[in-house]
Structure 1
Amino acid sequence: MKQGGGVGMTFRQNRWFILLFLLVPINFILGVDRTALTISSPQVQQAIHIDPVLMAELITISTAVYALLQVPAGWFTHRIGVRWALSGACLMWSLATILTSLQTHVSGFFAVRILLGLGQAPDWVACIFALKLLFSQSEREAASSTLLGGLYVGYAVSGVLTAYVLQSFGWRGCFLIYGLVGLVFSAIIFFCYGGPSLEAAPERTPETPAQPRARLAILPTVQIAVFYGGVSGVQSFCHVTFLHFLTSRFPISSFQAGRLFSIPAVSLYGAVLLSGALIKYMKRRETEGRSFPARRARIIGIIWATACMAGAILSPSLWLTLVFSAGATAGVGLCQVLTWSHVQSFPRSTAVVAGCTALVGNWVASIGPVWSEMLFKHQHSWAAVAGMAAVYGLAAAGVWFIPTRLGKGARDGVTTSIAGAEFE
């Protein structure tokens, strides 16, 4: 590797510079691009003459492709490195965004949305992998919350920003502008990322794990993946279904709903930053006999999020719906920070573990909104959709009651570390 001197190379290798000026902005752009079709859905529906169920399928097909490719994306990132994975991903999804502005038929929309999911697939896995390479264990909650903040600022701003761009340039102009911005930033990532890009090969020791221990590593991966699936189910309602819910439940226009759409996104942004700072503070106060109760925090966070989601759906007034939706995304924010800091605690194949977690989460995020729209279409009531919140909560909270302690040490209260992850 070439060693460069000077201020430029120093900044390119600084972990906080990379996080704040490269990783956070690329996820801001991803957040805006991902929600653009949701905000513009009323205009797109009129342009190509489709119903809300088919519109939900168009919105979520990219998430489904994104989900299916998470494990391959983790392996791919592990092989080629963070720099190539991130810049290539941004390039591909930006081209897909530009192509969206040219579509006139449903088939063309499905094609470009599939390309969008293909392009976005390596982004989050590569970013989590970069945090693992750049930051120490004590800094990862703060780094994870900052990275999530960039994504959720994109979600928060997208409601107002996209509504303004739609009014000024139409939905085709909106996608063209967003795509061009992404093309520029893909080049910035490629030329400015100077941090570590590949994981160092582990040293071989006489204590090479035996086959039984390798099998045990499946359980913690399944636990965090199922938990993240429940979290993503709540989040997908707030990010995909919420706009249609507002316009069908209350007498407001699509442009008004687009502005209100930003309220739960702002709550999500605030929650991830506050959660990261609070967890970091609590971990600094840890003692040998009193550690941070991560397992309990995950259970409380997901129960709160799903209860608020049900409250938002069942509330009789608009302002109560907005309060509950903000509460739901606040719970999601806490769970997101806990999820990705836990994933980074795996010392080996972190990108693959992140891929498995994102696979389940995005699979739920892709089918959840479609199920919601189908339930509403057949039941003619949003109350049936509130039952989905109970399913999310039971699955995501219940998985942490599966014991991970083994043998005599477990009975004596000694925690077991499997694949480097901490089990409470």
Structure 2
Amino acid sequence: MESDLRPSRARQVVLFFAVTLAVITYIDRVCISQAAPMMQEELGLTKTQMGYAFAAFGWAYALFEIPGGWLGDRIGPRRVLMRVVSMWSIFTVATGWAWNLISLVVSRFLFGVGEAGCFPNLTKAFTLWFPMAERVKAQGILWLSARWGGAFTPLLVGWMLASGTEGKVGLGLHYKWVFLIFGLLGVVWALSFFRWFRDHPKDHPAVNAAELAHIGETEPPGDHAMPWGRLVASRTVWMLWAQYFCMSYAWYFYITWFPTYLKEQFTSLTEMERALLACVPLFFGGIGCVTAGMISARLDRLFGSIARTRRWLGVLGMTVAGVMLLISMQTNAPLASVLAIGLAALSNDLAMPGAWGACMDVGGRHAGALAGSMNMMGNAGGAIAPMVVPLVLAATNNNWSVNIALFAVAYFLGAGCWFFINSEERLHE
């Protein structure tokens, strides 16, 4: 009888699945940046052409965010996640087996179509499985895992690719086998998740009455037809879109051109030193995510409002991120410069959980579609950045400082957007 009064903890299993998927997502996404020099050499690609491959993912990821989130609202995250994870895992494998620019761009585009459904549907699952007070903490843990999965990918891929010659320790795999291994991980996750997960806690045998009471009613009644008129008329929604566009424009640097930046800006670094430094932005970003999740509840009590907490973390995080990027330009010391970039990533991710939390709060039963629309706008910025970088380099005689300054400006613009975001607004009646 006593065990019946103690809440079960099935929602922690949901969080576990979300965490492992976030790691897989970023491993699959970041792997190509570490393999890019080898792929360019083997496929005979220029920097600009490699930028097209990076951008193909970004555009597909952006364009299919709303359809992926809306589908999760309609048929539930269980079926959607099983399908999209399987899809992008297949095209992770296909990336490694591309034979020319066209096949690589097509593979990355279809990979992006699959990944577009990931975080909107994880957000939808959190909306259904977690009470409001636990959602930002869950998002913080989720994004910590995503960032750290990406952070350690350069080391992991570097070790898998290293030939073991000239004192290097590694497996000596061709990059195509690395993509194959990572793709298979996603397939295993999709099958395991589909077998265990249910869209609603009340339908899961591992959830007892006490946990159901703790979770409460997590989905407002009504249909899932998206209120497009209210969405387009909402200043909060527009500002959520704009801040995420700016944030992603700057952030995509860390997962696309950053290893190349290290190679060209700091020519004295060894291959392993570059791999270690390439981990810094996403590692620090993960710290920012979990910090935001841990301090949000305390700040809510201090400010007396969840909406104010989200707003000021957004303003502070993105402002400091821009300042740290500007500081990184002032030193030629590799470690000092990269640490400043790492602190920029940490500050970036102080705003991240709150942005997704705002989508859950404002969207309600439309959380999947709203989160998808925000991620769509963000990744439009993320798709533009990899194409702009080589163009700016070509126009400035390979001067990386101009690109860094543009990323800082994007952060400052995103910080301004947060002054106009009110996460107490609701799209549903």
Give the corresponding residue for 2:425: 417
Q: Deviations over 1:274-308 (max 9, x none)?
A: 121011233255648x9854322211111111222
Q: How far apart, CA to CA, are the structure 2 residues paired with 1:396 and 1:193?
A: 36
Quickly say closer, same or farther: Cα 1:291–1:215, change in 2 above 3 A. closer
Unaligned stretches of 5+ in structure 1?
1-9, 205-209, 405-414
> Which residue of the other structure, out of 184, 188, 191, is the alignment partner of 1:187?
191
Q: 1:270 touches 1:330 (CA, 8 Å); kept in 2?
A: yes
> Which residue of the other structure, out of 16, 20, 23, is the alignment partner of 2:12?
16
Q: Which amino acid aligns with 1:114?
A: F
Give the corresponding residue for 1:147: 142
Asked whether 1:303 is paired with 2:303, we answer: no
Residues 269-280 of structure 1 mapped to structure 2, 5 A cutoff: 269-280=286-297
> Which residue of the other structure, out of 375, 379, 388, is the alignment partner of 2:392?
375
Asked whether 1:99 is paired with 2:94, we answer: yes
Q: How far apart, CA to CA, are the structure 1 residues paired with 2:421 and 2:245?
A: 20
User: Shift of the alpha carbon at 1:312?
Assistant: 2.5
Give the corresponding residue for 1:25: 20
Asked whether 1:237 is paired with 2:241, we answer: no
> Which residue of the other structure, out of 377, 394, 400, is the alignment partner of 1:360?
377
Give the match's secondary structure for 1:340: helix
Give the corresponding residue for 1:330: 346
User: Shift of the alpha carbon at 1:358?
Assistant: 0.1
Give the corresponding residue for 1:265: 282
Give the corresponding residue for 2:328: 312
Q: 2:144 touches 2:289 (CA, 8 Å); kept in 1?
A: yes
Quickly say closer, same or farther: Cα 1:215–1:156, change in 2 above 3 A. closer
Q: How far apart, CA to CA, are the structure 2 residues paired with 1:276 and 1:177?
A: 32
Q: How far apart, CA to CA, are the structure 1 residues paired with 2:23 and 2:396?
A: 37
Asked whether 1:202 is paired with 2:221, we answer: yes
Quickly say closer, same or farther: Cα 1:255–1:369, change in 2 above 3 A. farther
Q: Deviations over 1:152-177 (max 9, x none)?
A: 12111201111111122121111111
Q: How far apart, CA to CA, are the structure 1 residues paired with 2:411 and 2:300?
A: 26
> Which residue of the other structure, out of 63, 66, 72, is the alignment partner of 2:67?
72
Q: Which amino acid aligns with 2:358?
A: H
User: Shift of the alpha carbon at 1:195?
Assistant: 4.4
User: Shift of the alpha carbon at 1:78?
Assistant: 1.3
Asked whether 1:395 is paired with 2:413, we answer: yes
User: Shift of the alpha carbon at 1:373?
Assistant: 1.8
Q: Deviations over 1:385-420 (max 9, x none)?
A: 13312431342122234497xxxxxxxxxx973437
Quickly say closer, same or farther: Cα 1:261–1:390, change in 2 above 3 A. closer
Q: Number of residue pairs matched?
A: 395
Q: Which amino acid aligns with 2:373?
A: C
User: Shift of the alpha carbon at 1:134?
Assistant: 0.9
Q: Which amino acid aligns with 2:326?
A: A
Q: 2:51 touches 2:386 (CA, 8 Å); kept in 1?
A: yes
Q: Deviations over 1:192-235 (max 9, x none)?
A: 2134289856259xxxxx999x3675211111111111221221
Q: 1:231 touches 1:335 (CA, 8 Å); kept in 2?
A: no
Quickly say closer, same or farther: Cα 1:418–1:78, change in 2 above 3 A. closer
Give the corresponding residue for 1:130: 125
Asked whether 1:119 is paired with 2:114, we answer: yes
Q: 1:217 touches 1:418 (CA, 8 Å); kept in 2?
A: no
Q: How far apart, CA to CA, are the structure 2 residues paired with 1:286 and 1:385?
A: 36
Asked whether 1:226 is paired with 2:242, we answer: yes
Asked whether 1:177 is paired with 2:149, we answer: no
Q: Which amino acid aligns with 2:142?
A: L
Quickly say closer, same or farther: Cα 1:416–1:194, change in 2 above 3 A. closer
Q: How far apart, CA to CA, are the structure 2 residues paired with 1:34 and 1:84?
A: 22
Q: How far apart, CA to CA, are the structure 1 residues paired with 2:70 and 2:41?
A: 41
User: Shift of the alpha carbon at 1:141?
Assistant: 1.3
Quickly say closer, same or farther: Cα 1:37–1:215, change in 2 above 3 A. closer
Give the match's secondary structure for 1:40: helix
User: Shift of the alpha carbon at 1:255?
Assistant: 4.6
Q: 2:250 touches 2:411 (CA, 8 Å); kept in 1?
A: no
Q: Which amino acid aligns with 1:202?
A: P
Q: How far apart, CA to CA, are the structure 1 residues paired with 2:148 and 2:337?
A: 21
User: Shift of the alpha carbon at 1:23?
Assistant: 1.0
Q: How far apart, CA to CA, are the structure 2 residues paired with 1:211 and 1:18?
A: 30
* TM-score, structure 1 normalization: 0.86
Give the corresponding residue for 1:6: none
User: Shift of the alpha carbon at 1:253?
Assistant: 4.5
Q: Deviations over 1:129-169 (max 9, x none)?
A: 11111111111111110111221121112011111111221
User: Shift of the alpha carbon at 1:348?
Assistant: 3.6
Q: How far apart, CA to CA, are the structure 2 residues paired with 1:106 and 1:40?
A: 15
Unaligned stretches of 5+ in structure 2?
1-6, 163-170, 204-217
Q: How far apart, CA to CA, are the structure 2 residues paired with 1:240 and 1:27?
A: 18
